[in-house]
Amino acid sequence: MDKAEQSNEALLMCFTNDKSDEHLGILKGLLKMYYHATLTNRIGIMEARNSETGEVEVVLVGVDQSGDSIAAYPLAVTITAEEVSKYQAPDGKGGWLSNSPAPEEIN
């Protein structure tokens, strides 16, 4: 594969403490699915009502179009700005990194 072909290949970045081949394969497979759906124009965004809470949430959806009929399948939920700080990245060694400041807090 030449350098031009390599630059068109998606870099599958997985951040996890579980580096087993099986687990990394699952994560990479999911990420490949998102990339493929995006590149084939099969990803959409939906404001959907959460049937458990009644709240409207923003959801990324897979889109299946057949003629004039469109079906959307929830794939992932987005998080709000207020929820960002509760997520800690894995350190790759079994632990977790401390939360980084929000982008607007960085000078």
What's the confidence (pLDDT) of residue 8? Answer: 73
Question: What are phi and psi for residue 26, nearest 5 degrees?
Answer: -65, -50
Q: How many CB atoms sit inside 10 A of residue 57's CB?
A: 15
Which are the contacts of 81, defined by CB distance < 8 A and separation ≥ 6? 102
- For residue 85, the enclosing domain spans 3-105
Structural domain total, the chain: 1
Q: Which parts of the chain sit beneath pLDDT 50?
A: 4, 105-107
Q: Could you give the CA distance from residue 44 to residue 24 in angstroms, rounded to a whole number?
A: 26
Count of Cβ atoms closer than 10 Å to residue 61 Cβ: 18
pLDDT of residue 72: 95
Q: What is the predicted pLDDT for the residue at 107? A: 46
pLDDT at 103: 54
Evaluate if pTM is beyond 0.85. Answer: no
The tokens 């687990």 sit on which residue?
A: 23
